[in-house]
Amino acid sequence: MSTIAGTMTADHRHCDEYFSETEAAISAGEWIKGEHLFKLFREATLNHFAMEEERLFPAFEGHVGHTMGPTQIMRMEHNQMRQLVDEMAVSLKAQDKAGYLGRSETLMMIMQQHNMKEEQMLYPMMDQALGQAGASIASELVPV
Amino acid sequence: MLNTASLSLQQAPPISIPFRFFLTAPLFSILAAVQLLLAGEEILVSRWLPVTLGFTHLLTLGFLAMVMCGALLQMLPVMAGAPVPGVVVVGGAVHLLLSLGTLFLVAWFLGSGPLPPALILLVAGFSIFLIATVVAIWRRGVVARGSPAGGMQLALVSLLVTVLLGVVASLGYDGRLVIRELAVVTDIHLGWGLAGWVGLLLSSVAFQLVPMFNVTPEYPQWMKRHLPWLILLALVGWSLLQFGEGAFWEGGRKFSLVPVVVLYLLFAFITLDLQRRRKRKVPDITLLFWVTGLVSLICCAVLWVCSQLLPWLASWRGMGALWGIGLLLGFSLSIVNGMLYKIVPFLSWFHLQNRQMAQMRMSVAIPHMKAFISDRAARVQFVLHLLATVAMAAAVLYSHNLVRPAAFLFLASNLLLGANLWIAVWRFRKTSLLLAQKS
């Protein structure tokens, strides 16, 4: 049976891998490879946010009856990260290595602590609250 | 049920609280460097000399405890879901008491001040800190085994033991208390300070942050769950074995440090292995500091094992100095120094970005982390720190004449660390003022 925690945690690792590979390529000055990997990273990350904001969070908020609380904070952090990813795209386009690496370092910090909160608290909470419905949503999610 | 507080970074204290600790710490390490420069080779003669005690306490209280207390006030809400009550007042008081207390204590060591004010200030500072943090963790409720709060709790217990034994030992040296085994009490004070307070805090922070910083695999579950309390237990056993008399106790004493050494070796090797397997391969200054710290820790452990096997090594006079340099400069200072390069830029960025988003002032650009402290500046400081540490060890091994060059390197390293941190906060202020103007 799929769980929200299982599916989404695996997708975090997946995004981490694209993230690290992109960073390594850019750090080595391999701009073409970096651009290709960055595209994959951005797609995977934005898709991950969308799965949460469009499917998981509404289901969970429907269950607890309000949209304040942890999901609100997670949405806010998604916006922080979207902003950083956009800035990274600008640095990449300008082939500004220092700018890209400074922003990717910043993104990594916010992303890792965000993931940690989701993996250790929010996802298990969702699995518990949503039960079978959660499992069926998890099985329908499509990571890219 | 849902603990929304622990999901939120809003519970974190105002940035001025951690920053005042982080900006003060290098001032103390600069003082320590100046003292090393003035004292020269005398500092290596014996760990009991006033200059040596002054030097070590400027570093342990003024630098390490300063950063660690500031960081705990910041991290407890974020990492352990335990916001510290009255954090602004607590942080302000602890910072002031700890700063003044350290200065008074060092003045007493150097024979130019009385002991009581130093003790009153330090005991007051640590009491406020311990009460506030214990209340924070206690209010949070049950601490899950293996959560960072567990290791932090035990680090706080160790801090309490360290402070109490420090008070007892200082009263003994000051002639206000008659203690038969003063040297033993001092050893135990030192053991709980380094292997308890510093080691437990750094390892429980590592469990959480090493996988985060470098995208490494997680630490093994058993280690996260059991290492902290095993270390504490090993320290208790070691301490108790120091007191008895007779052949049985003598024999026990010989091996009493084995569990502590083995546990820290495990921690060091597993951490290095995780870092080796990291997915994030870009050069990282904090990682260099970590590796330096862990390698120093391993060197100290190997040295200890050798000294147990080779009697001539055990009786060699330089042994204590070498351990001191390895554990203090090589291990503790390296890791704390390296962490500052992640914490200060991140907090700066985080606070500014939160304000920017709350005000919707996207026209003000927020500098990224490496614009607060450049990689180049951090790297140069790392090299100076590494050279200073190696030069100090070389001074013990080869020639005491190397102490002064080592002191110069240590001074340069800490001046640059201070400059890097102060410049970062200056840059924070500049953007902060821009945000204030626009709103």
Q: Chain B: nearest CA to A55, how far in angstroms?
A: 20
Q: Where are the domains of chain B?
A: 282-434
Range of the domain at A95: 4-126
Query: How far apart are the C-alpha atoms of B426 and B404, rounded to whole Å?
Result: 32
Categorize the per-residue pLDDT at B147 as very low, low, confident or very high, splitting at 50, 70 and 90: low
Cα–Cα distances (Å) from B144 to A5, B148, B149, B176, B199, in that order, read 19, 9, 8, 43, 20
Please give the interface size between A and B, counted as residue pairs whose CB atoms are below 8 Å apart: 80
Subunit contact B280:A23, Cβ cutoff 8 A? yes
Q: How far is CA A84 from CA A70, A105, B333, in A?
A: 21, 10, 32
> Is residue A131 one of the residues assigned to a domain?
no
Total domains in the fold of chain A: 1
Q: Are B24 and B99 in contact (CB under 8 A)?
A: yes
DSSP letters, B272-311, are HHHHHT-S--S--HHHHHHHHHHHHHHHHHHHHHHHHH-H
A125: chain B residues, CB-CB within 8 Å = 2
Asked if residue A136 is part of any domain, the answer here is no
Task: Determine the pLDDT at residue B6.
Answer: 42
Count of CB atoms situated within 10 Å of the CB of B184: 14
ipTM: 0.87
pLDDT at A35: 97
- Mutation to test the A interface, candidates B10, B145, B215, most A Cβ within 10 Å: B215
Q: Is the Cβ–Cβ distance between B135 and B59 less than 8 Å?
A: no
The domain spanning residue A100 has which CATH number? 1.20.120.520
Tell whether A62 is covered by a domain: yes
- Domain-embedded: residue A121: yes
> Residue B82 pLDDT more than 60?
yes
Q: Which one-letter DSSP state was computed for residue B44?
A: G
Write out pLDDT tens, residues B347-381: 999 899 888 888 888 788 899 999 999 999 999 99
Distance CA B244, CA B257 (A): 15
Phi, psi (rounded to 5 degrees) for B215: 50, 65
What residue type is assigned to position B27 of the chain? L
Is the model's pLDDT at B148 over the cut of 90?
no
- Whole-angstrom Cα distance, residue B427 to residue B419? 12
Residues of A with CB under 8 A from a CB of B: 16-17, 19-20, 23-24, 27, 64, 69-70, 73-74, 76, 79-80, 83, 87, 98-99, 101-103, 105-106, 108-110, 112-113, 116-117, 121-122, 125
**Among the ranges given (B1-5, B195-199, B390-394), the one the predictor scored with the smallest mean pLDDT:** B1-5
Q: Testing the interface with B: which of A16, A71, A87, A106 to mutate, by most B Cβ within 10 A?
A: A106
